[in-house]
Amino acid sequence: MKCPWCKTEMIDGFINSSRKVVFSQKPNDDFFFLAGRESINLTQHNWTRPSAKAYHCENCKKVIVDYSIEIE
């Protein structure tokens, strides 16, 4: 995937966490396993090893998460 900001090739990888990761329009809109009503769950396997497909650009210091991709 090309970085949408600088157009260089991004590094293929994953977001890995000890807890699920959500996108929210408000900070701290998540409490343990209860996501806020507006939150979007980004990670899979949230009870064992939460992770999500992601791409990293070293130049721009940005990560893009693709939570549509199924992780084995």
Nearer to Zn ion by Cβ, of 11 and 40: the residue is 11
Query: In the complex, what is the shortest distance from the CB of residue 56 to Zn ion, in angstroms, rounded to a whole number?
Result: 9
Which residues lie near Zn ion (CB under 5 A)? 3, 5-6, 57, 59-60
What token pair was written down for 17? 């966490």
Say how far apart CA 1 and CA 56 lie, in whole Å. 9
Query: In the complex, what is the shortest distance from the CB of residue 67 to Zn ion, in angstroms, rounded to a whole number?
Result: 20
Query: In the complex, what is the shortest distance from the CB of residue 55 to Zn ion, in angstroms, rounded to a whole number?
Result: 10
Say how far apart CA 52 and CA 23 lie, in whole Å. 12
Nearer to Zn ion by Cβ, of 9 and 38: the residue is 9
Nearer to Zn ion by Cβ, of 38 and 66: the residue is 66
Compute CA distances 21 → 3, 15, 31, 35, 51, whole Å: 22, 9, 11, 10, 8
